[in-house]
Amino acid sequence: MPMAVDSWLSKVRWAGKKSKSKSKSKSRSVGILAFEVSSLMSKLVHMWRAVGDAAMARLHQETIHLDGVRKVVSDDDEFLLGLACAELVDALRAAADSIAVLAARCAADPCLRLDEFRDAFMELADTGRDRHRWAAASWKEMDARARKMEKQVAATAALRRAMEELAEAEHGLRKLLLLSQTASGGGLHRKMSVASQQQQLVFSKKQEVKQLKQTSIWGCTLDAVVLSMARAAFTTLARIKIVFNSRAEHRSHTLYRSLTLSSAVHPSSIIPPPVPLHLQGGGGGAAAPSRKSMSMDITTEPHLFDHQFVSQKKETSSSSFFLDNSLASLTPPPGTLGADALAPRYAGVVITIERMARSPRLVGPDDRDELYGMLTASVRAQLRARLRGAVPAADPGLAAQWRAALAGILEWLAPMAHATMRWQAERSFEHRNTDSRGSTSNVLLLQTLHFADRDKVEAAMAELLVGLNYVWRFDKEMTCRALFAVHRQFMLNTTNNPNGTAMTSCASTVPPSASGC
């Protein structure tokens, strides 16, 4: 009988070892997918940093209180914070979809299959229940995981560079070998020596690539990498639901604007001569919450990473966290640059004006024509109305006022224009598919011109153009006067020249304010 028991136990042990080795063989390494996975992992780490204490404090205390945001986007804190939340949720949803596609390739862990991962993620979003306990138990744990992921991303980037260098070295070696076949004598000896050195370089690069494949994402199992990213996505989602809890539930989808057009830009009632318009700020926002209230410390808020918390129930069966907190639910309303698809175009105009305002005297006719061609019909109409009438005489005091007005407007409008171009470039199709580092910028949609009021931005642009036109004419006239004075002095000093009298007489008839200078 004991012999039979021993025989049965040995069969059970053998079957367990066999099934374990079989499941291990099913889990394959990431391999060539390492570069795509690295990009996705980098984005997850960036999203986690974006909801950290420092980033949230900067959002509450600085970003939503920027002058440009208050003047042309909105002065409502709840709307601006809801917009920031929607952008983060949208980015996390896209990352979760990519993780789900990779999870379908996993074979060892049944929790990582496509439908199971999606269901678990949606359940955490809608009810707060974490069925697999994937969300980190503490801030310290997730921070350590993020640092590990950053190291893996850095190693994968180094692997990519090493593989490119190896390909170049192998190409160089093949080229040297082809050249050595046609050489003879001393030339052959030199080329063989160089080929030998190149061969050593290829060998060392191969060793480097082999080592980096083992330490980077390339050599990790797909199940382990996907599980790590799934945990990061779950933890980031839990953090978003906490820091945007009240605002995500109670914010309105309407774009609040207590500022009218006249409260931001006051059009001049006197057309000639033009007088700089003073742009006033928007209303003050609510007081920013303290850093302590946004802390992730488990001791002050024990429920933050409690896997059992179910604080946010779905009110109806059709409600969804991702539907209620996405950019699709915050479509730019009519009257905004985003609704009219003009944000990148107007950003380009503002950036061009900023460049010209630095040195107006260097602006040529071609530059002026190019800038005018970038304007829309509505801006051209405002510009023609403002410039209609007599051209004012050169006035140093008025020129100084216009320079101050230009600097004041560009101080808040130019950063929004640059942020618009940067935000657009980072989310372009080519960037998403070629940049292995992922999106590492801190530019948010609310900092751009996407939700900016079109009338306010156009009024500010018209003000910039009128001011730039006057400063350009003033500098041009001052330059002409200086050249005329130098020329006249030169002609007076050369009166002995036979042609001097005629030239002086002719030059003296040219008015100092001639527009042809």
Q: Name the pTM for this structure.
A: 0.73
Mean pLDDT of the chain: 76
Least confident of 408-417, 423-432, 497-506: 497-506
Q: Which of 43-47, 303-307, 316-320 has the highest mean pLDDT?
A: 43-47
> Could you give the C-alpha distances from 430 to 156, 162, 246, 427, in angstroms and in order?
20, 23, 36, 8
Whether 275 and 92 have beta carbons less than 8 Å apart is answered as no
Confidence band of 107 (pLDDT split at 50, 70, 90): confident
Instruction: Answer yes or no: is 276 within a domain.
Output: no
Do residues 492 and 431 both lie within one domain? yes
Do residues 60 and 72 both lie within one domain? yes
Could you report the per-residue pLDDT of 12-39, keeping only the tens digit for each?
Answer: 455 454 444 444 445 688 999 999 999 9
Number of structural domains found in the chain: 2
3-state secondary structure 215-257: HCHHHCEHHHHHHHHHHHHHHHHHHHHHHCHHHHHHCCCCCCC
Instruction: Answer yes or no: is 14 within a domain.
Output: no
Do residues 44 and 153 both lie within one domain? yes
Least confident of 128-137, 151-160, 294-303: 294-303
Do residues 313 and 343 both lie within one domain? no
Mean pLDDT of 459-480: 88
Do residues 102 and 238 both lie within one domain? yes
Instruction: Answer yes or no: is 185 within a domain.
Output: no
Do residues 254 and 354 both lie within one domain? no
Residues 6+ apart with CB under 8 A from 236: 44, 47, 48, 51, 92
Do residues 165 and 312 both lie within one domain? yes
Do residues 455 and 482 both lie within one domain? yes
Instruction: Answer yes or no: is 457 within a domain.
Output: yes
- Domain residue limits at 124: 29-170+220-259+299-331
Instruction: Answer yes or no: is 293 within a domain.
Output: no
Do residues 339 and 326 both lie within one domain? no
Handedness of CA 99, 102, 104, 106 (dihedral sign): negative
Contacts within 8 Å (CB) and 24+ apart, 27-31: 27/106, 27/107, 27/108, 27/221, 27/222, 27/223, 27/224, 28/107, 28/221, 28/222, 29/218, 29/219, 29/220, 29/221, 29/222, 30/217, 30/218, 30/219, 30/220, 30/221, 30/222, 30/225, 31/218
Instruction: Answer yes or no: is 196 within a domain.
Output: no
> Using omega within 30 degrees of 0 as the cis cutoff, is the peptide bond preceding 273 cis?
yes
Q: Which amino acid is at 179?
A: L
Q: What is d(CA 437, CA 60) in angstroms, rounded to the nearest whole number?
A: 27
| Confidence at residue 144, expressed as pLDDT on a 0 to 100 scale | 93
Confidence band of 259 (pLDDT split at 50, 70, 90): very low
Mean pLDDT of 170-191: 76
Instruction: Answer yes or no: is 75 within a domain.
Output: yes
Do residues 243 and 107 both lie within one domain? yes
Whether 366 and 248 have beta carbons less than 8 Å apart is answered as no
Computed on alpha carbons and rounded to an integer, the radius of gyration of the chain in Å comes to: 33
Least confident of 42-46, 110-114, 204-208, 466-470: 110-114
Do residues 224 and 81 both lie within one domain? yes
**The length of the chain, given as a count of residues:** 517
Q: Which of 356, 359, 389, 363 is nearest to 268 (CA)?
A: 389
Task: Name the 3-class secondary structure at 64.
Answer: helix
Q: What is d(CA 172, CA 191) in angstroms, rounded to the nearest whole number?
A: 12
Handedness of CA 429, 435, 438, 443 (dihedral sign): negative
Q: What is d(CA 163, CA 196) in angstroms, rounded to the nearest whole number?
A: 20
Q: Is the pLDDT of residue 327 over 80?
A: no
Phi, psi of 453 (to 5 degrees): -70, 125
Instruction: Answer yes or no: is 16 within a domain.
Output: no
Give the end-to-end CA distance of the chain in Å, rounded to a whole number: 117
Contacts within 8 Å (CB) and 24+ apart, 474-477: 474/394, 474/395, 474/396, 474/399, 474/402, 475/360, 475/361, 476/361, 476/517, 477/394, 477/512, 477/513, 477/517
| Confidence at residue 426, expressed as pLDDT on a 0 to 100 scale | 84
Neighbours of 109 (CB within 10 A): 20
Q: Is the pLDDT of residue 330 over 80?
A: no
Phi, psi of 494 (to 5 degrees): -120, 40
% of the chain residues with pLDDT over 90: 43
Here the tokens at position 229 are 């990213």
Mean pLDDT of 66-75: 94
Could you report the per-residue pLDDT of 217-237, keeping only the tens digit for each?
Answer: 999 999 999 999 999 999 999
Do residues 403 and 468 both lie within one domain? yes
% of the chain residues with pLDDT over 70: 68
3-state secondary structure 115-149: HHHHHHHHHHHHHCCCCCCCCCCCHHHHHHHHHHH
